[in-house]
Structure 1
Amino acid sequence: MRDFQFPGRSPVRATEAMAATSHPLSTLAAIDMLRSGGNAMDAAVCAAAVQAVVEPQSTGIGGDCFVLYCPKGQGEVIAFNGSGRAPGAATVEWYLDKGFNELPLHGPHAVTIPGAVDAWCRLLEDHGRKGLADALAPAIRYAEEGYVVHDRVAFDWHDPETDLSADEVATHIFLPGGKPPKAGDIHRQPELAETLRIIARKGRAGFYEGAVADDLVGRLRALGGLHKLEDFAATKGDYRTPVSTSYRGHDIHQMPPNNQGLTALLMLNVLSGFDLGRLDPEGAERLHLEIEAGRLAYQDRDAFIADQDHVDVPVQALLSCAYADSLRAAIDPEHAMTHLPRLDLPGSDTVYISVVDRDRNAVSFINSTYYSFGSGVVGPKTGVVLQNRGSSFRLDPKHPNAIAPGKRPMHTIMPGMMTKAGRAVMPFGVMGGGYQPFGHVHVVTNMIDFGMDPQQAIDAARVFYNHDVVEAERSVHPDAVESLRRRGHRVVEPDHPLGGGQAVLIDWEKGTLTGASDPRKDGLALGY
């Protein structure tokens, strides 16, 4: 139990159903959907659509999504890959011939074909109870009538790295009066409202064909992009088998490559050989082991993870006990490793949604346009912000993640699912670009090794190894910071909080749900 004399929030507890998102309007929309007869998948898509409006810096219908789903909370976990692909004309040779040294972070060449709308339609058709029109109705209302800008959204909107002024359409929509909205301002997106209405009427064809696709492809082509209408029409997500590992009696499931979820499993396999539970959960010894496990796992992430439809990824070898043993042997509990290459990992803006309904259908759902406002390219008639996932590709033709026609890039957004003895225990996720494997591991070990409830596990102070330094949030105890420095780490305070997460814990014996939402964002968990 938390100390009620300190700031913080309690977990949310209920019996029937629970939703946790990073925005209050999104959580409310999910609860309304559940109470009106929808199931967890209906609620998750509805929540994601609302966030595509009210968190425009983080997500949108011009982005991608991934989903882990455990029907009725029992049996196999289903994975759906809703990430988009490179245009059919995108080759390494084309970019090298044009003088590119790397894929840009912004502009048309950063844009892969959005996969989110196709995924939403397919998931509702296969697993939902209600139709697309019902799922999109709250988002359409907020886009048309306006929504109040929340505090974390305003903070991100004012990020100096967000250059909306580079695109005249983005400026018109997202810099009203020439400046970003402030917390408490009302913002409207009428162009997006009309686009959502078209999708509600026509389904996936309303986005990937016809006027909406014409607008997006026309804008990309005008800016020099390689995209064609055929690329949009051919977009299709697919079901995949999750990758999984066992950690102290619990099974942790992630999306397979092209997703980076494997990285979290590598970290857990390494950490499983240490008796974390005897350590101080806020102490340097525990944080150091997490940092070093992450540094090792991320080397393999960058070396191997790519689209398995195009290259072989040695998943089973990477997840083997023998390989974990070999990685673990390189860790010195008292000294930071000095032989590993530099890590330069991107941040991103993402939304994560966790929903469990009365039938215990458990959904772990993540949606993103990657960097703040994605590529910065916006459809002039549709108001659609296009993602910049293409920037994750490499231009080294020998690298597994080299760009190629119709190929998916290495992808950062990762939903998580914890199960035990064949039953869902917790859909969970932690946002934050390259930070996400660290975040998943921190939450999982907080709960399993240190007995924290989901809210405590998400609230807990975080560290992240990036750019050859350890980023330690201000809440990390000064003694732990100094002890990390004595181990050889350079420790700095990050400019932004590290990630944001949600989770819903299922207690099958008591018949209860416990929800949590990260105070680093605007959201909350609600149940009934």
Structure 2
Amino acid sequence: AALAVTEPCSTGLGGDAFCLFYNAHTGEIHGLNGSGRAAEAQSLDFMEGRGFSAEAPPPVFDALNVTVPGAPACWCDTLQLFGSRKLPLQDVLRGAVELADGGFPVAELTAHHWGRCASELQAAGRALGPDLLIQGRAPKSGQVFRNPALAQTLRELGERGKPAFYQGRVAKAIVDVLRENGGVMTEEDLKKHNSEVVRPISIEYKGVTLWEPPPNGQGLAALLLLNILDNFPLKGQGHNSADYIHIFTEAVRLTQVDVLRYLGDQGHVTVPVDALLDKSYGRVRARSISTDSVTHGNTGSDTVYFCVIDSEGNACSFVNSNYLGFGSGLVPKGCGFSLQNRGANFSLIRGHPNVICGGKRPFHTIICALLTDSNTRELLAALGVMGAFMQPQGHVQVLLNMLEFGMNPQQALDAPRVYVHYDQKNGQWTVNLEEGIDQSVAEELRRRGHNVNSPVTGHMRCQFGRGQIITVGNWWDPSVNQTDRPIPRVLWAGSDPRADGCAQGF
């Protein structure tokens, strides 16, 4: 909630959220899908009737891309399902209310991001609402920003819970601003929203189990990627060597093809998760990778993350996002937050698992993760790496940094990263290499046929994700005898230098 106040260009009440929770008493891992659904009036026929198609989708900031905000319900449900019951919601939100009412100095990286996102909206013909500006401008670094409208919305949420958002004043304001801009969401769409308790999916890698949210989230991508990479001698190749990055890049490409082919809302389609995560399928995909050249093929934001481990050993891995900065940039009158545009990730191809449909959740980029010991199921870590389609790549790179290369949590986050993505403008896969990766590596990758962008520096490094991690013990240290588990309960934490984050103990 505090991040919704201090970093509204990344997250807020108008966005979605996912949660993974580790219960230290039972060793069980629970998941909560807090993503919203399309308005009931929306369908492929409806979109085609508006003149849209797969080749000509709605503009990314269009009101038709706004799905029901799932974050407020997810906050309430997380507290209800997994909280200690020692604090009511009103007390939990009090600090955020005070921040919004009293104001706060805007952090440097947040100010840059705030200004850039506001400018992108303006360039697209969408002026950000006055609640999120100071005299029509994005706040500067160090400038004190106040948002009394958001304070009131949070205050009402604390007092009345979910009905304060999904019914009444706020719901009406959401529907009004969407209708004014061509949207079709109704108050009934908001009223019937609910979070979904889900069974997390996982894969084992060298004694550690990585847990991710199931589809419609892209946690499946992280597991598919790790399943392919398990077939290569990554440690022997060397961290961020040309061989290592080449194999990683090719595995990402294969993973993305599978994800875009199969992933959708499991309330509407069947996703063959078990078959895709079978070790034999990982071996088949790995065999299609050439170790010295690109295997050609085709395919096809902004978030905040936090993790907490309490004194009893319970862990919460939580991610919350608007998508693309301020999302749609539409701000319900008197509410103090912008509405997401997650519907931009729906497919407009008839028969596709992710095709738009009323009451359906779109393909979702935000994911959170937990690590457990594959033998004992004891908690090893809570982690997340924010950054749209970079997130599964970030999860895997941070995990490999620790498991294969013995880095501690902070080193694993600090290390230069790779971002593999499909550039729709030029129809090419591009490998972005962060500053710190040797240029000889970039040249060798180009020789193998990769389209390489290197080095990526400055504020542009945010594309490599912004991670946080807490580990239980130093299981990542190669000098630790793994048979000594359970590990002494010392918590280690790291926070990404690419973001305005921190690691704290209380």
**By the TM > 0.5 criterion, same fold?**
yes
The residue correspondences of 1:129-528 to structure 2 (distance < 5 A) are 129=84, 130-159=87-116, 162-164=120-122, 166-167=125-126, 170-338=128-296, 340-343=297-300, 348-420=301-373, 421-466=376-421, 467=423, 468-493=429-454, 494=456, 495-497=460-462, 498-507=464-473, 509-528=487-506
Q: What residue identity is the alignment partner of 1:516?
A: G
Q: State the 1:289 CA deviation.
A: 1.2
Is residue 4–residue 12 contact of structure 2 (8 Å, CA) maintained in 1? yes
Alpha-carbon displacement from aligned partner over 1:491-524 (angstroms, at most 9, x marks no partner): 1144443110001001252220001110000111
Is this contact kept in 2: 1:103–1:393, CA < 8 A? no
Is residue 107–residue 376 contact of structure 1 (8 Å, CA) maintained in 2?
Answer: no
Of residues 101-110 and 415-424 in structure 1, the stretch that sits farther from structure 2 once superposed is 101-110
Q: Tell me: CA distance 1:172–1:164, structure 2 relative to 1, closer, same or farther (3 Å).
A: farther
1:219 positional shift: 1.2
Provide, for residues 256-304 of structure 1, a one-character-per-residue CA deviation record: whole Å limited to 9, x for no partner: 1101100110110101011112221131111111111111000011111
- Give the corresponding residue for 1:79: 31
SS at structure 2 position matched to 1:525: coil
Kept after mapping to 1: 8 A contact 2:17/2:70 = yes
Partners of 1:391 and 1:85 in 2: how far apart? Answer: 12
Matches of 1:374 and 1:54, distance apart in 2: 16
- 3-state DSSP of counterpart to 2:116: coil
Cα offsets for 1:172-219 (capped at 9, x unmatched): 223322322111111111111111111111000100011111111111
Counterpart of 2:42 (choices 73, 82, 90) is 90
SS in 1 for 2:504: strand
Whether the aligned pair in 1 keeps the contact of 2:129 and 2:330 (CA below 8 Å) is no
The answer as to whether partners of 2:131 and 2:337 remain within 8 angstroms in 1 is no
Say if 1:103 and 1:392, in contact at 8 Å, map to a contact too.
no
1:72 match: secondary structure = coil
Alpha-carbon deviations, 1:61-88, whole Å to 9, x = none? Answer: 1110000100127522101000000011
The letter of the residue matching 2:89 is: L
Gaps of 5+ in 1: 1-48
Deviation by residue 1:334-354 (Cα, 9 ceiling, x = unmatched):
11212x1154xxxx0100101
The residue identity in structure 1 corresponding to 2:491 is L
Deviation at 1:459, TM superposition (A): 0.9
Unaligned runs of 5+ in 2: 424-428, 474-485
- The letter for the 2-side match of 1:492 is N
Match of 2:483 in 1: none
Counterpart for residue 38 of structure 1: none
> Partners in 2 of 1:315 and 1:510 — Cα distance?
35
Report the AA paired with residue 3 of structure 2. Answer: Q
Distance in 1, Cα, partners of 2:140 & 2:252? 36
SS of aligned partner of 1:524 = coil
What's the TM-score once normalised by structure 1's chain length?
0.88
- Secondary structure of the residue aligned to 1:253 is strand
- For normalisation by structure 2, the TM-score amounts to 0.91
Q: Which amino acid in the other structure matches residue 156 of structure 1?
A: H
Task: Quote the Cα distance in structure 1 between the aligned partners of 2:158 and 2:189.
Answer: 22
Give, in whole Å, the separation in 1 of the partners of 2:26 and 2:291.
Answer: 39
Question: What is the match of residue 30 of structure 1?
Answer: none
Q: Distance in 2 between matches of 1:185 and 1:115?
A: 30
Contact 2:416 2:434 (C-alpha < 8 Å) held by counterparts: yes
Give the conservation status (yes or no) of the 8 Å contact 2:331–2:337: yes
Using the alignment, how far apart are the partners of 1:122 and 1:237 within structure 2?
Answer: 7
Mean CA deviation greater in 406-415 or 501-510: 501-510
Q: What is the CA distance between 1:164 and its match in structure 2?
A: 4.8
State the secondary structure of the residue aligned to 1:177. Answer: coil
Q: Which residue identity does 2:157 align to in structure 1? A: I
Q: Is the 8 A contact 2:174 2:332 kept in 1?
A: yes
1:74–1:422 contact (8 Å) kept in structure 2: no
RMSD: 1.4
Which residue is 2:80 aligned to? 125
**Paired residue type of 1:459:** D
Please report how far the alpha carbon of residue 167 of structure 1 lies from its aligned counterpart in structure 2 after TM superposition.
4.4
In 2, Cα distance between equivalents of 1:142 and 1:481: 45
Structure 1 residues 373, 73: CA separation in 2 closer, same or farther (over 3 Å shift)? Answer: farther
The residue type paired with residue 184 of structure 1 is G
Task: Tell me how far apart the structure 2 counterparts of residues 167 and 118 of structure 1 sit (CA, whole Å).
Answer: 27
CA contact (8 A) 1:219 1:379 kept: yes
Letter in 2 for 1:505: T
- Equivalent-residue separation in structure 1 for 2:159 and 2:395 (angstroms): 37
Residue range with higher mean Cα deviation, 99-108 or 291-300: 99-108
